[in-house]
Structure 1
């Protein structure tokens, strides 16, 4: 491959670029690394990503969350460390999964025997429509918010 072709590919926008959501509260630091697929006139959750099936929570590599301190996510005690993060979307709730295996491509080799926690959270309708899949923390660091299309999933965070 020529150097000019490699340089051109590096400049082209990726269809699902990587992103980082992070928050710091007291001594705790939480970082989520994920890829951001876009809707592109598709119905994703419930169709492209079917209800009841483990999903990588984004695109490309499995989403990873790093916690520098022990925290509570959705009321569950989670030890400091780095975990893969998956979801099982349903119409009225999502089950978020923290898994000890890292470096996975998607959920193709997901192994539930390595689950550290499963957290059920309700799905809400968002007042805004999010074209790209988005994970962010609220300003107070008390919620991790997952948004796509008009869906909102809020995971309580306690440091």
Structure 2
């Protein structure tokens, strides 16, 4: 009898152990929107440390990314392979393909297109890379959420390959059902989790993408692709592109030029939502907005010397602060306050006619002065300057 009890208990223990060792499986879909526009939708599947993504991008035309790979146990990438194609022309219409392998303390990333190929190597493990495209970048959080630390306040650190260099990438547990995930280039995404730790929603407002994501059930992705290709053939889509532009003026012998990227409203609530209050804003899109001066300017008597600077602002419901930063050539989300050179309060006004595109202006004011301003949506912010102290 004791033998039966012993073997019965042993069998139960082995069954429990085997069950505990079964890899968790999480699968579902994620759909991203930019204001009223759906920008991408796709399926994710994480089975233990093996994963797959199929992503349907919708701007300006439909294209599909398919990839699969294996994580290390901490969520860093061990192997990955994938490709992107135009479904309107068939799966053989390759746009680009890529592989990632980690070996000998090095991450190797190979990318190929019909006309060129490259292999780059980095002496780090990574969780993210720009090499596979923006939509792959923002779908990875659906997988990486499962490698977040368990304790509130703890962080997991890795790397994000952007602009051919390794930037710090972080996943931080901020609440029982909330994570912060991202890098200085991506910006920090807020990930909302369900009670089982699966992804429920993504808040990317204030990041490089300014998108929102919602998780759902696993999709019949072939039907999604077919429906979007059919829609594309019947209705052209406007590309969600931030228009590069510049404005320049010469005032009293001072040459002033501002280069910036112009985001559009696209039916969104801009200030207080797309541009959150009381946080640093790149005051444009993509790379940081830049100003070039061949001679000094003076703001409220404070000198801004000859040279190039990046421009940032801090919007609040009661006013804006204009910031000139000594790091001119940076991505717009990489603001470092240690390099802030000058901070100036701005004058605010409400526009009678909303501005769809962010618009900078430089105009003359008085005998030796001028005004730098920008308008977007329903607001205009201005700062006066002089060319002499």
Give the structure with the larger helix fraction.
2
Same fold by TM-score greater than 0.5: yes
RMSD: 1.9
1:56-95 matches, within 5 Å, as 56-95=282-321
How far is the alpha carbon of 1:26 from its aligned partner?
2.3
Question: Which sections of structure 2, spanning at least 5 residues, go unmatched?
Answer: 1-112, 116-237
- In the TM superposition, what whole-angstrom CA distance separates every residue of 1:80-110 from its partner, at most 9, and x where no partner exists? 1100110111112111110101221112x21
Structure 1 residues 112 and 70: alpha-carbon distance in aligned structure 2, compared to 1, 3 A threshold:
same
| Larger mean Cα displacement after TM superposition, 139-148 or 52-61 | 139-148
2:341 pairs with 1:116: yes
SS of equivalent to 1:30:
strand
State how far apart, in whole Å, the 2-side matches of 1:82 and 1:116 are.
12
State how far apart, in whole Å, the 2-side matches of 1:13 and 1:158 are.
40
Question: Which sections of structure 1, spanning at least 5 residues, go unmatched?
Answer: 4-11
SS of equivalent to 1:142:
strand
Match of 2:323 among 67, 90, 97: 97
Would you say how many aligned residue pairs link Structure 1 and Structure 2?
150
Match of 2:374 in 1: 146
| TM-score for the superposition, normalised by structure 2 | 0.37
- Higher RCO (Cα < 8 Å, 6 or more apart): 1
How far is the alpha carbon of 1:41 from its aligned partner?
0.1
Deviating runs (4+, > 4 A) in structure 1? none
State how far apart, in whole Å, the 2-side matches of 1:139 and 1:111 are.
31
| TM-score for the superposition, normalised by structure 1 | 0.86
